[in-house]
Amino acid sequence: MSLDFHGPGLWYATRATGLVAMLLLTVSVLLGVITAGRFASGNWPRFLSQGLHRNISLLVLAFLALHVGTTVVDTYTSIPLAAAFVPLASAYKTAWLSLGAVALDLLLALVATSLVRKRLGYRAWRRVHWLAYACWPVAVTHGLGIGTDRSAMWVLVLSMACILAVLGTAVWRVITAVRLGPAR
């Protein structure tokens, strides 16, 4: 009953959905940081950063579903579905794939706790949400390490741009937090 899916199409789909997911995750992290940093301007209200952050995070999950789906279905490599969630469950590129699983698990935790935020209470939700700062670098590392086209210049440039954007925004966040004082 095995469907013989294989060929460059699926592989490109896996790679593409992965890259888009990384991009969107980066944007989501940026929006999350500027929401916490209370960024606002005349044309950009705070609820916009927050609303986009939420919606884009959900979009990341959608792309990851495709990313995982195309990977599992591809018979060129026999990666079980479990490997998307359980580290070390795949023989193929075990280390890099495990990072992907960890990133996905963290993301699921972030989204799930955010959906039940009211019932969870703010403090518990906040503590879990710090994991976002673990999720994103793990995801980016997974992408850089596992990609067979990492030598392709534009992928490297894209990844660097994402890293610089997050680093820069994190620095901005620290500076504004210090300026605003405690409890902010």
Partner 1 sequence: MSVTLRVNPIACTGHGMCAELLPEVVELDRWGYPVLVSPTVPRSLREHARRAVQACPTLALLIEEKAGKHR
User: Rule CB under 8 A: which residues touch partner 1?
Assistant: 35-36, 38, 40, 45-47, 50-51, 117-118, 121-122, 183-184
Q: Which two tokens stand for residue 116?
A: 């039940």
Contact 165, 23 (CB under 8 A): no
Name which of 15 and 53 has its Cβ closer to partner 1: 53
Residues 6+ apart with CB under 8 A from 76: 6, 7, 10, 11
**Is 8 or 42 the residue whose CB approaches partner 1 more closely?**
42
Question: Which residues have a Cβ under 8 Å from the Cβ of 107 and sit 6 or more positions away?
Answer: 25, 57, 60, 61, 64, 135, 139
Distance CA(56)–CA(43), nearest Å, equals: 20
Rounded to an integer, what distance in angstroms lies between the CA atom of residue 172 and that of residue 128? Answer: 22
Q: How far is the CB of 44 from partner 1 (least distance, A)?
A: 11
CB of 35 to partner 1, least distance (A): 7
Q: Which is nearer to partner 1, 1 or 183 (CB)?
A: 183
> Cβ 46 to partner 1, closest distance in Å?
5
Closer residue to partner 1, CB minimum distance, 115 or 152:
115
CB of 147 to partner 1, least distance (A): 35
d(CA 72, CA 83): 9
Cα–Cα distances (Å) from 163 to 22, 56, 101, in that order, read 11, 18, 20
We find the least distance from the C-beta atom of residue 170 to partner 1, in angstroms, to be: 18
| Contact between 83 and 101 (Cβ < 8 Å) | yes
* CB-nearer residue toward partner 1: 47 or 76: 47
